[in-house]
A = this chain, B = another copy of it.
Amino acid sequence: MTEIRFLFDYVSPYAFLAWKRLHRAAAREPIVLRPEPVLFAGLLNAHGQLGPAEIPAKRRYIFRDVLRTALREGIPLAPPRTHPYNPLLALRLSGLDMDPAARIRLVDRLFDRAWSEGGGVETPDDLSPVLDALGLDAPALLSAAGSTEAKERLKVATARAVEAGVFGVPTMFVGEEMYWGNDAIDHVLDAIAGRSRPLPAELLDRWEHLPASAHRR
């Protein structure tokens, strides 16, 4: 079994698409998915960049691209209730100690609720019925998700991701190798299947030390 670390935020439709594709792949390939919530806004802040939904032209385009990709992949998709929304409680909840299989079911349900069913994943009222339906202890988990420890855990996970070079979601790790974005899924599946070719070290080294001959004003 190969482990795929899956760093995500429920706010990202590309994280949703990538999750659904990997979740399906896990049903037929020797893959263990390890979902790890991180705060996308924290990644953007750390790198001083704008998110796609913060650039109006990009936001418009992305709606179309996400819908087109969902149609192609046969993934049911509907706009969420609001966007952007506050994913903090759902992320903290998803990072609590729990059985790995339960975490995968929870992440899958919350992604579906947000991006397939037009539901919200912001408030205790949004989240409680989802936990109930999964047979989980909603009051205990929601209380734990509001704790200082859960808040700190999400902060630390996000900070560690930044240190590891993560700048967006979804980000996947197969061993040490990092993959970013729904469009990197084919590379991830290549890596799992042993079809990746090694990246020539000499070329990577030249890239790394490439001088700039122009800068944007």
Bound state CA distance, A58 and B50, in angstroms?
13
Report whether B67 and A204 are in contact in the complex, using a CB–CB cutoff of 8 Å: yes
For the complex, is A105 an interface residue (Cβ under 8 Å from B)? Answer: no
| Cβ contacts under 8 Å, A67 to chain B | 199-200, 203-204, 207
Quote the shortest CB–CB distance from A83 to chain B (angstroms): 5
Report whether B86 and A216 are in contact in the complex, using a CB–CB cutoff of 8 Å: no
Report whether A197 and B71 are in contact in the complex, using a CB–CB cutoff of 8 Å: yes
- Per-position 1/0 for A61-103, Cβ under 8 A of B: 1011101110110000111111111110000000000000000
Task: Give this chain's copy count.
Answer: 2
| Cβ contacts under 8 Å, A175 to chain B | none
B-contacting 9-mer, from A26-34, A128-136, A179-187? A179-187
| Cβ contacts under 8 Å, A125 to chain B | none
Q: Which residue of B lies closest to A78 (CB)?
A: B203
Report whether A61 and B180 are in contact in the complex, using a CB–CB cutoff of 8 Å: yes
For the complex, is A1 an interface residue (Cβ under 8 Å from B)? Answer: no
| Chain A positions near chain B (C-beta within 8 angstroms) | 41, 44-45, 47-51, 54-55, 57-58, 60-61, 63-65, 67-69, 71-72, 77-87, 120, 122, 162, 165-168, 177-181, 183-184, 186-187, 190, 196-197, 199-200, 203-204, 206-208, 210-217
